[in-house]
Amino acid sequence: MTGLMNETLMIKFLAIAAKHGRTAEYPPPLAAGFFKKYFLHAYLAFAVMAAFPGFSSAWFDETHLAIAKAAGYPKWYNAAGADIAKIKAGDVESHNHRVNNPPGTLITPEMIMGQIKKYNQINRKGQLYGAIIQSTRDYIRVKAKGKYGEYHMAYCAHYVGDLTMPLHNIVMNDFNKKHHLTIDGIIDNGILNNYKKIQIYSIRIRSEADLVKEVARIANLSMKLGYELSAKERLLTRAEAYQQVGHSASLLKAILEYAGRQGTTTEETP
């Protein structure tokens, strides 16, 4: 399995190397041992990321974990799982992680409701907002059956993180392609030890309609910020990034409270 996996990645690597006009030797012959030991994983990670250029991971793993931790989610350590799923599920999963909103879009509750049925489907426009709603529904439904619903909440926690990565709310323009990975990792280093610096504010969700409204609010401000960065050709500042993940953590906290209450009252239909 590992050999086959490496071979597949090697083919992808060669294709990428050829595309970028590099000499396609794998690994470079002069430093093969050194390369193998120290850089193979980095090259493989690059090959995987480059194989999905339109749908990179949004915030890096530790940023996702920190958001979930700041929100008080007991299973915070599952919050990067949705990105792990992309490796095997490809576009079936990756289109849940963003929405390509053209400039001038107003993200409305109706638009979000329309994305729900597209959850886990191949849809180039992306259905991140609908994915947040459907994964919350799935969690509530499964939990009400007395079963283990936490993997649905793990997906939800991840999508709520992606919601505030500004470049996951705008089209894949040249700016987005060029700076996506840099912005993904802008506050990742050390954030897990500093998750308490993420500022939480109070959001109250009493119904699914409230949830949809909050997703629309945060999506609009994230999209606006994304287009501002793109127009000014500048990176996200650390302060802006912390503010963004603060929206995610606050929303996730509110979803956990809402879904927790629903889980105890929802009637089950087999």
- State the residues that interact with Zn ion by CB under 5 A: 58, 97, 162
CB of 235 to Zn ion, least distance (A): 19
Of 58 and 225, the one with the shorter C-beta distance to Zn ion is 58
Assess contact for 230 and 174: CB atoms under 8 A. Answer: no
Contacts of 77 (CB under 8 A, 6+ apart): 65
The residue (of 149 and 161) whose beta carbon lies closer to Zn ion is 161
Question: Residue number with the shortest CB distance to Zn ion?
Answer: 97
Q: Closest separation between CB of residue 162 and Zn ion, Å?
A: 4
**Comparison of 39 and 52: residue with beta carbon closer to Zn ion:** 52
* DSSP state letters, 129-159: HHHHHHHHHHHHHHHHTTS--HHHHHHHHHH
What is the spatial distance between Cα 198 and Cα 241, in angstroms, rounded to a whole number?
10
Which residue, 112 or 154, is less far from Zn ion as judged by CB?
154
Q: How far is the CB of 228 from Zn ion (least distance, A)?
A: 22
Q: How far apart are CA 163 and CA 13, in angstroms?
A: 30
Minimal distance in Å, beta carbon 83 to Zn ion?
5
Closer CB to Zn ion, residue 248 or residue 262? Answer: 248
Structure tokens at 17: 């190397």
Give, in order, the Cα–Cα distances in Å from 38 to each of 16, 21, 27, 43, 136: 20, 24, 12, 10, 41
Q: In the complex with Zn ion, which residue's Cβ is closer, 58 or 170?
A: 58
Minimum CB–partner distance for residue 128 and Zn ion (Å):
8
- CA proximity to 71, closest of 196, 165, 185: 196
Exposure string of 92-122, with b = 16+ CB inside 10 Å and e = fewer, is ebbbbbbbbbeeebebeeebbeebbebbeee
Q: How far is the CB of 202 from Zn ion (least distance, A)?
A: 26
